[in-house]
A and B are shown apart, each in its own frame.
Chain A
């Protein structure tokens, strides 16, 4: 079983739609959860960062973590064509060392059409 599972899509929605992106994971030790956005021909850029469970909101973006279900989500409200990108979930856990290892999902390709 992979550490992090993410449906690669593609996902295509009209402008203004609410988008829901999700990842599941198997390692209950994960504590840090991130969403990266990657535009075509660019490197990933950090979008949201959450520690442990709960919700975090930043503008049109909301990240949710449900550790009991080992499930994380990213919601995009009022989606825009500029949101078209690949969204990668990533997570890490405290290994009691200084080595930061991120575990990534495969990424979900999102297209928002006008």
Chain B
């Protein structure tokens, strides 16, 4: 595996379900990110982890819970989601978490909340 991988690629869940999205980076990077991409809207930064510590939580509802057990893996735990949470969830990684560090994106998980 190379680059940034995400599983599952597609997920359909009911509002009462609990599920998790997984991201793995194979680039030796130290920073990882979760973004939300909705139709016709800019990418929204959700969380930033640098060296496994959360350094930014961008006013995201508590029904989204991130976890970063090590610098290669990032999870997004989902519970009691709303239909408006349906979107493409993108994971990215970068060498550092600085402004000039290039972010590399995974293919995303397409989430549909019924």
Q: Which residues in A have some Cβ–Cβ distance to B below 8 Å?
A: 2, 4, 6, 8, 31-32, 34, 36, 41-46, 49, 51, 88, 90, 92-95, 98-107
Contact = CB atoms under 8 A, between A and B. Distances in A.
Nearest to B96: A98
Contact of A100 (B42, B101, B107, B108): B101
Interface string B76-114: 000000000000001010101111111111111010000
Contact of B106 (A36, A43, A94): A43
B96 A4 contact: no
A45 B99 contact: no
Which size class do B's interface residues fall under? 20 to 34
B55 interface: yes
Contacts of A95: 99
B4 interface: yes
Interface of B: 4, 6, 31, 40-43, 45, 48, 50, 55-56, 90, 92, 94, 96-108, 110
Contacts of B31: 100
A103 to B, nearest CB: 8
A51 B100 contact: yes
Closest 10 CB pairs of A and B: A43-B105, A104-B42, A104-B43, A92-B99, A44-B105, A43-B107, A100-B97, A100-B99, A100-B98, A43-B106
Contacts of B103: 46, 100, 102
Contacts of B105: 36, 43-45
Contacts of B42: 2, 4, 6, 103-107
**Which of B55, B90, B105, B106 counts the most chain A CB atoms within 10 A?**
B105
A46 B103 CA distance: 8
